[in-house]
Each structure stands twice: as structure tokens, then as C-alpha cells.
Copies of this chain bind each other. A is one copy, B any other.
Amino acid sequence: MKKNVTISDVAKQAEVSKTTISRYLNGHFGNMSSETKDRIEQVISELNYRPNRQAQALKSKRSFLIGVIVSDISNMYSSLLLKGIGEVLGEAGYQMIIMDAANSIEKEQDLLHKLIDQSVEGIILQPSLREASHYQFIKDENIPLLLVDRGIEPLIFPLVTTDNETATKKMIKQILDKQYERVVVVSEPLADIVTREIRYHSIKEVVETKNCLLNLVEVTKETNLNHEIEKCLKYHEKTAIFASNGKMLMEILTILITEKIELPDEIGITGFDDWNLSALVGPGITSIEQQTQAIGNVSGTQMLSYLEDETKENETKIVSAIIRTRNSI
């Protein structure tokens, strides 16, 4: 069992003071003789020395840690987001502490505190709550918080998100162009998350200008989705379902395919998120692809810039989405 080698061991071995080693480590060779430099380099590799990050952080107030909280890590969205963030932050020498709020608002609050306890330099959060008050304490701690995917009210932090409004409206126009007479939006409860509301209202806005009916199904644990879809099939109007996120789209498709409903003849279906499956299921599912990894990249970049310059404004960065037109509407 090898004991951990510290800066003192290196100093002793190299016959200089800890200060000099520290200077070497931090690249402060103002006027360090190249002999000592070489000797230190030599000793470090000999002893296999690596500085202790905790000690560095404690003293220098720089942890090089960024906390990231996603609302559900098993969601495809999270995977791509984390990939994107990690690419940028890793490049810049930061580590991510990733945490999973597991769709629990209590857990999210707990995790935020835990991140702060770890002295993270910044936090990237996909928030589970829409009221800014729940996140005010982070502002008080004076640590940069960047929201991703979802906004809060009022929007007191910077945000990186998809252009939900544009993408949704474009898609609805496609639906209307195909002479649909009724759109059924299937969404998780609107009130919880701003993004859901934006998507719904974008639809509503477009639909209402045309002679088209609109229904909203808010899905909770109690909802019998099978039953809701049956209702859709009974409408006399030509009907399209709009799933407001990938999970909903997935669940609806499972039912439609299982029940051997003809798409788009018996019913049209589209919505957010275009995952691998969309091209392969049924006749090909027309859907909206969020550029999630790009959102991650932008988030990482923004975070880095806040770290450098804390006076930045609360700007919102919008990343466009892509309409994947296939044959389900």
C-alpha cells in the first residue's frame, strides 16, 4: 500500500520549498531557474505526484467543478445534453458533478444544496419547478446558475433552450395544410413546466386562426391513455395527435402500433422529440428534433463565459429545432 505523495514529499526530494513546487504546478515560473524546473519535473514523474484537488480548492477557492442536475437521467434528452455539456467543459479542464433529480422536486432542492456543499463553481440545471423563488438562494450564494431546457418565472437566470415556439408552429402549420380538422395535444400537466405551456399555447395560437378544433389531454398517473386515444379515434373530424414530448410520443405510439391503427389514415400523430425510433416506426413518424447535444454545447460555453465574467446579463440562448417530415401526418 503506497502512501499518498504530497507536495512536501516532492519539495523534500527536489530540495526546494513547497512554494517553489506550487509555483511550478501553477505555471508561475516567473524566474525559476531551468535547473530547478527540470529537477522538479523529474521528481514529480519519479514519485508519480498528482496534486490533491480538494486541498487546492480549499485554499485557492477554485474547484473546477461544475454541477449539472437533470430532471431524469434515464431520459434520452439528458444523455445528449450531458454529452454536449461534457464535451465543452471537459475541454476547458472542468469536471462535471452530474446529479439526477429523478423527477422529484424535493430531491432537486436537496441536490442543489449538495452541489453547493461541494464548492462547485457553477450549476447547470434543468429545473423541475417554474417559480423562481425556489432558486433564489443560489443567487444569494453568488454562484452562477444556468438553466437549460426549461425557463422559470420570472426568468432571473440565463437560459439555453430549444426554439419551441417556432418549431411547434411550423409543425402545426403542416398539420393544417393537410386539412386536419382537430388537433389533440397530449401533454404532461401544463402548469408544472413552462416549456409545456409554451408548446401548447403556440399550437393554440395557430389553430385558432383556422377552422380547426383543439383538445388538450393532460396526462397524470391516473390517466388511462388507451381510453383517451380511443376517444380520439371516434371523432368525426380528421384528427391529429400532437405529443408534447418524447415520452408521450413514445407511449402513444406504443398504443397505436399495438392496436394496429393505420397511420396516418385512421389518425395522424406527431410531436416532440425525434429519437432513433421515429424513422422506423409505422410509416415513419413526422416529428420535431431538438438539437439536444448542441444545446449542451451552448450551455457549456455559456457557463464558461459566466465563470470568466460574472457581470454577464441574463441572456436567453435559443437553439433551433428541426422538423423531420415523414409520413405519420
Q: B-contacting residues of A (Cβ < 8 Å)?
A: 1-2, 50-55, 57-58, 63, 73-76, 78-80, 82-83, 86-87, 90, 95-100, 102, 113-114, 116-119, 140-142, 250, 253-254, 257-258, 275-277, 279-282, 293
Whether A113 contacts B293 in the complex (CB less than 8 A), given A74-B83, A83-B73, A279-B254, comes out as no
A116 to B79, Cβ gap below 8 A?
A: no
In Å, the complex CA distance between A60 and B118 comes to 15
Closest B residue by C-beta to A97: B97
A54 to B118, Cβ gap below 8 A?
A: yes
Closest B residue by C-beta to A114: B95
**Copies per complex?**
2
B residues in contact with A102, CB < 8 Å: 83, 86-87
A-B contact pairs, 10 of them (CB 8 A): A50-B116, A54-B63, A54-B118, A55-B58, A73-B79, A74-B80, A76-B76, A95-B97, A96-B97, A276-B277
A73 to B58, Cβ gap below 8 A?
A: no
In Å, the complex CA distance between A120 and B73 comes to 21
In Å, the complex CA distance between A51 and B119 comes to 10
A67 to chain B, nearest CB (A): 10
B residues in contact with A73, CB < 8 Å: 79, 82-83, 86
* Cβ-neighbour of A140 out of B2, B142, B254 (below 8 A): B2
A280 to B257, Cβ gap below 8 A?
A: yes
In Å, the complex CA distance between A140 and B50 comes to 14
Residue among A2, A114, A118, A257 with the highest chain B CB neighbour number at 10 A: A118
Closest B residue by C-beta to A96: B98
B residues in contact with A95, CB < 8 Å: 97, 99, 114, 118
B residues in contact with A142, CB < 8 Å: 1-2
Residue among A90, A142, A258, A280 with the highest chain B CB neighbour number at 10 A: A280
A79 to B86, Cβ gap below 8 A?
A: no
In Å, the complex CA distance between A276 and B278 comes to 11
B residues in contact with A280, CB < 8 Å: 253-254, 257, 277, 280-282
B residues in contact with A258, CB < 8 Å: 279
B117 to A50, Cβ gap below 8 A?
A: yes
B residues in contact with A52, CB < 8 Å: 58, 117, 119
B residues in contact with A63, CB < 8 Å: 54
Top 6 A-B pairs, shortest CB-CB distance: A277-B277, A98-B98, A74-B83, A54-B54, A280-B281, A53-B117
Whether A141 contacts B2 in the complex (CB less than 8 A), given A113-B50, A118-B95, A254-B280, comes out as yes
Q: Taking A52-B119, A53-B118, A78-B79 as given, write out 14 further A-B residue pairs in contact, using a Cβ cutoff of 8 Å, ordered by the A residue number.
A: A2-B141, A52-B58, A54-B63, A54-B118, A73-B82, A74-B79, A75-B79, A82-B98, A83-B102, A90-B100, A97-B97, A254-B280, A257-B279, A275-B276
